[in-house]
Chain A
Amino acid sequence: MLKPTIGLEVHVQLKTRSKMFCSCPVEFKAEPNTLVCPVCLGLPGSLPVLNRQAVEYTIAVALALHCEIQPFSQFHRKNYFYPDLPKGYQISQYDLPFSRNGYLIIETEEGEKRIGIQRVHMEEDTAKMIHGESISRTSGYSLIDFNRSGVPLLEIVSRPDISSPQEATLYLMELRSILRTLGVSTANMEEGALRCDVNISLERGTRTEIKNLNSFHSVRKALEYEIKRQEEVLKEKGQVIQETRHYDERAGVTLSMRTKEEAEDYRYFPEPDLVPLKIDPSWIEEVRSRMPELPEDKRKRYKELGLFPQEAATIANNPELANFFDSCLSLGAPGKEVANWLLSEVMKYLNARNLSIIEVPLSPEGLVEFLTVLKEGTISSKIGKMVIEEMLQTGDGTREIIERKGLAQISDPVLIKKWAEEVIKENPDQVSQYRQGKEQLFGFFVGKVMKLSGGKANPEILNRILKELLLRE
């Protein structure tokens, strides 16, 4: 199989209070065309003024991605006509971007991998178009909502260091978690707060670009399809053409949009309405000092607690889960055990209901109490699974649930011995087979005794007593 070379170009909407170049609020659920002014409508005579908060967010992202923030950068006009672009040009950055040469680390099955970041730059979002066909099939019109026009965007361009659709997904997840940890974006792909274009070639051959992928699923599927397509072209001794392709989600195929020859000439030139951007090093340090712990550092810390890399990554890349986990740690709980329960029973419950950890009544204190009770031996881990589900549903305490449901573990050796003797008496054939060496039958006896105890027998004591009785002839 030919090795794919993949690069990602991601656009991220920043959730600043106001837009990139005017004071209109950034809000995604407002009535169409209510958050507009002469600037973001591109009215004659209006001028852009750069949003300081957008710059600050960009500094944070650039730092988190280990980029070099350029002491001097410039905005350029990118010229093209489209109804969603009110000025007929987009204010973007070109040969003097905000920052360059960074990286992020993904946790693959083969271990950590560094994906290079070519550049992080700022630009403004376009308006949102709703085409008539999607309203009614026969209508020949399009609607434009300028609320989105001028929302700050970051463009984050990776180096072509990604070598599989799986890695592309990991890259996006890592990026999303960095953005969420920094609190600069919702980074929600389905809502368009994070949009992705991919570049892909096989064995450094000709590359194609696939535009506007709007879910993790689409990114993976489009890449898988495109790898297969290019392989087939090459197998038949054909040529992959440098072109922009579109991913048809319904059909699951990529289709040609335009070739290199048809590529637009954007006639970039420096934006004369804005002065070059000079970033004072003290500003960078100020932003750095306020930055939260990043997923990368979290992962490192978690691995030091004995978590497997995948476990550490799963928790670190989910800011809410990581917060929960860290709260448990600060309550003195052992990381490994917290992780085991969080990643198995708790995640199973959340995923099945499409919930986040902050949407259920389970608190870090609750989970820590649960682990204590478990350690005390009051319940078995099997009963524990039931208890934790109850806690996730009701938010009640562990002891409360055990009491209410009578789930406490039975550790009384006299009682357990009584059940064990009963089982041995009622199953003479199995007993003799076991004694003749068929040791796998041990589980059979454990099951029978457990059943008699209503699942509450302390497994350790049960094992010990059962073994003693069976060995005693």
Chain B
Amino acid sequence: MIFQPAHKILREIRERNLSPVEVVQATLEWAQKLEGKLRSFLVLDPEGALAKALMLEEKLKKGEEVGPLAGIPVAVKDNICTRRMTTTCGSRILENFLPPYDATVVEKLERAGAIIIGKTNCDEFAMGSSTENSAFFKTANPWDIERVPGGSSGGSATSVASYQVFLALGSDTGGSVRQPASFCGIFGMKPTYGRVSRYGLVAFASSLDQIGTFARNVPDLALLTEVISGHDPRDSTSLPEPVPSYSKELDSPAGTLRIGVPRDLLQEGLTPEVKEAFEDALKIFERAGFAIEEISLPHASYGIPTYYLIAPAEASANLARYDGIRFGLRAKGEENLISLYKKTRGEGFGAEVKRRIMLGTFALSLGYRDAFYVKAQKVRTLISQDFQKAFRKVGLIALPTSPTLPFKLGEKVQDPLSMYMSDLYTIPISLAGLPAISIPIALKNGLPVGMQIVGPALSESLIFKASYLFERESGLSNLKPPIVEELSA
């Protein structure tokens, strides 16, 4: 049962062939079985999940209205606030932090009847591309447990890829949903900036952060995305436009579409395996009736340096509140205010977080701000304009998600720059605030490869349609990693 797509389970629940309690019990059992090997979760809440399932069952028995995700077990990245479970952001500094409120997306999930079974591991404050920066433990890639699941939403990606849950939420600042989706062989959507409320998402880089979604097939992903999208009066940057029903629109025609490929970006750093898989995927798109066209994004190659000025600058301010005064860790043995700050932050933050706070503080400092932060903002505008120009020619843009296959645990920990390069293809899209999906396009050496489909602002529906066409054409969905096959046998 747990290997079924969520949209099928939903139908079974609604038709009373399956009960939410059965679904939750089976899922929890499987999740716990895999957890020892994969470690997706920072917190699992079987009691809470079962209690919710029972309540739903009561409602169903009485014939009451239940939401569009009624009874579906989901996971939530641990940088999204939940009243019921601690929210640590993978950091010592928030190790025991229990938020007094639920994020807007959590409220929306619960209203839709989804059952949150746990909080997933991530790079500390979502800073990283391998989930190795979690202060607590590392999460394994279900396709090869010696490899990373990607990051920073690695726990969410692993939990979905290994069938521990049907769906999960992550957050994507520079690729943190798309890259782990790619590494784990699943679908991951980063909607348009502002499409999903950030209220309750612990901020890393506010102008880039966007909550995103994971699923094993496009219909499930479209459904989850439409449930969490929409305007939120508590988030001033959330967009007022109404949300179309992505899942219902999937079957309507996408039209004859041109897909642009920025070939000038497909040179340096792109590994042959990924390049080959990408070219093959383009052929599948052609077969499905799309025209492939070459486009140019001349400033996209400045994406990484631009991102590594803007994101740390914002992070340096966003992380200033972890000072040991009001919540979270407070270091012991402080002598005065300054030493309290220094010890708390010294002990509470990991190396990557400290690196980025320092980078950002420097980029904003008097005498350097114009050369770094202000200049980066200008380049960001140029990158956005590149996309705008390209979308006058083509309807969508295709790019690899990650330039490499999933790498080994520990392989890049000592080399931040090569870790940063993981996000070569995801970052320019984040800087432009555009929606993009990562879809599985191949298995190479037994490891998944993903591809991004990028659209203009608020073109999520079109992106889902194109992805769905590809999914049906390629048959690459609901993939089962070897560990899942083994343990379910």
Q: Which residue numbers of A lie inside 8 Å of B, CB to CB?
A: 38, 41-50, 77, 79, 81, 83, 86-89, 144, 265, 267-269, 272-275
Contact = CB atoms under 8 A, between A and B. Distances in A.
Q: What secondary structure prevails in chain B residues at the interface with A? A: loop
Interface stretch (B13-21, B363-371, B409-417, B440-448): B363-371
A265 B321 CA distance: 18
B236 A87 contact: no
Given A50-B236, A86-B321, 13 more contacts: A43-B100, A44-B202, A45-B201, A45-B203, A46-B200, A47-B234, A47-B235, A81-B323, A83-B323, A87-B320, A265-B366, A274-B237, A275-B237
Nearest to A266: B366
A50 B237 CA distance: 11
A41 B321 CA distance: 10
B321 A47 contact: no
Interface string B226-260: 00000001111100000000000000000000000
B101 A88 contact: no
Given A79-B320, A83-B325, A43 B99 contact: yes
A123 to B, nearest CB: 15
A267 to B, nearest CB: 4
B236 A49 contact: yes
B479 interface: no
Interface stretch (B46-54, B214-222, B297-305, B310-318): B310-318
B207 interface: yes
Contacts, number: 97
B94 A44 contact: yes
Q: What secondary structure prevails in chain A residues at the interface with B? A: loop
B326 interface: yes
A45 B337 contact: no
Contacts of A275: 236-237
B206 interface: yes
Contact of A273 (B81, B236, B319, B361): B236
A77 B373 CA distance: 14
Instruction: Identify the interface centre among B81, B205, B326: most chain A CB within 10 Å of its CB.
Output: B326
A45 B78 CA distance: 12
A91 B369 CA distance: 19
A46 B326 contact: no
A140 to B, nearest CB: 10
Contact of B317 (A44, A50, A88): A88
Contact of A272 (B100, B234, B237): B237
Interface in B322-364: 323, 325-327, 337, 341, 361, 364
A269 B81 contact: no
20 contacts: A38-B100, A42-B321, A44-B97, A44-B99, A45-B87, A45-B201, A47-B234, A49-B234, A77-B317, A79-B364, A81-B341, A83-B323, A87-B321, A89-B317, A267-B364, A267-B369, A272-B205, A272-B207, A273-B206, A274-B236
Nearest to A21: B236
Nearest to A265: B366
Contact of A38 (B101, B319, B320): B101
B89 interface: yes
A247 to B, nearest CB: 23
A45 B327 CA distance: 13
B198 interface: yes
Nearest to A22: B234
Contact of B337 (A79, A83, A89): A83
A67 B15 CA distance: 66
Interface of B: 80-81, 87, 89, 94, 97, 99-101, 103, 198-203, 205-207, 233-237, 313-314, 316-317, 319-321, 323, 325-327, 337, 341, 361, 364-366, 369, 373
A43 B365 CA distance: 25
Contacts of B234: 47, 49
A47 B237 CA distance: 10
A44 B373 contact: no
A47 B316 CA distance: 16
Contacts of B205: 272
Contacts of B201: 45
A272 B341 CA distance: 25
Nearest to A273: B206
Contacts of B317: 77, 79, 87-89, 267, 269
Given A44-B321, A50-B236, A89-B317, A267 B361 contact: yes
B373 A269 contact: yes
Contacts of B200: 45-46
Given A38-B101, A79-B316, A81-B341, A47 B373 contact: no
Given A47-B236, A86-B321, A272 B314 contact: yes
A152 B248 CA distance: 45
Contact of A45 (B199, B325, B326): B199
Nearest to A267: B364
B47 to A, nearest CB: 24
A144 B325 CA distance: 10
B369 to A, nearest CB: 7
B122 to A, nearest CB: 14
A47 B203 CA distance: 9
B206 A267 contact: no
Nearest to A140: B336
Contacts of B203: 44-45, 273
Contacts of A47: 198-199, 234-236
A401 to B, nearest CB: 60
Instruction: Identify the interface centre among B101, B201, B317, B319: most chain A CB within 10 Å of its CB.
Output: B317
Nearest to A49: B236
Contacts of A88: 317, 319-321, 323
A42 B323 CA distance: 11
Nearest to A264: B366
A61 to B, nearest CB: 23
Contacts of B326: 41-42, 86
A89 B323 CA distance: 12
Contacts of B101: 38, 43, 45
A273 B327 CA distance: 22
- Give 8 nearest A-B pairs by CB, closest first: A88-B320, A272-B207, A267-B364, A272-B206, A44-B202, A45-B200, A265-B366, A45-B81
A273 to B, nearest CB: 5
Contacts of B80: 45
A124 to B, nearest CB: 14
A46 B199 contact: yes
A377 to B, nearest CB: 69
A265 to B, nearest CB: 4
B236 A45 contact: no
Contact of B237 (A86, A269, A273): A273
A249 B337 CA distance: 26
A49 B313 CA distance: 22
Contacts of A49: 233-236
A268 B198 CA distance: 23
A176 B199 CA distance: 38
A398 to B, nearest CB: 59
A126 to B, nearest CB: 13
A47 B199 CA distance: 6
A77 B87 CA distance: 25
A200 B312 CA distance: 38
